């Protein structure tokens, strides 16, 4: 069975999803301040590799652990939920089925404890 990553066109599609995702995130005052001093080009590339891996693509992700990457940010459930909502919207925008979105968001949800309250 094809992985989610293969089914929807690999890294090229994931990159488009990530670009759209960050458009939504940066327009959202709940979470956009976390990216005020972020090199968004670098962040997009990094996130594309991470999401590709999370969706069954090759592991090119060499970044920090989730806990380390979010250290000192003190992210709260409202922030995590906003990010998940935007990821859902971005995946849906590119024609990903609800079933596949649910699978992807379950994987993202499994990282919740590594991201919140750090």
Selection from 80, 66, 34 nearest residue 88 by Cα: 80
Taking CA atoms, 17 is separated from 13, 14, 22, in Å, by: 6, 5, 9
70 is in an annotated binding site: yes
Burial profile 19-31: b = 16 or more Cβ within 10 angstroms, e = fewer: ebbbebbeeeeeb
Q: 57 Cβ partners below 8 Å, 6+ apart?
A: 3, 5, 6, 10, 11, 14
Binding site, residues?
A: 46, 70
Binding site for heme, residues?
A: 46, 70
């Amino acid at each position: 069975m094809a992985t989610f990553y293969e089914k929807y066109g690999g890294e090229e599609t994931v990159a488009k999803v990530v670009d759209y995702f960050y458009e939504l995130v940066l327009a959202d005052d709940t979470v956009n301040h976390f990216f005020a001093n972020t090199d968004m080009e670098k962040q997009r590339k990094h996130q594309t590799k991470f999401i590709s891996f999370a969706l069954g693509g090759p592991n090119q992700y060499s970044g920090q652990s989730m806990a380390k990457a979010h250290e000192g940010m003190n992210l709260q459930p409202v922030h995590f939920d906003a990010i998940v909502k935007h990821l859902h919207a971005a995946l849906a925008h590119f024609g990903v089925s609800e079933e596949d979105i649910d699978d992807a968001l379950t994987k993202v949800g499994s990282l919740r404890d590594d991201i919140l309250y750090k």
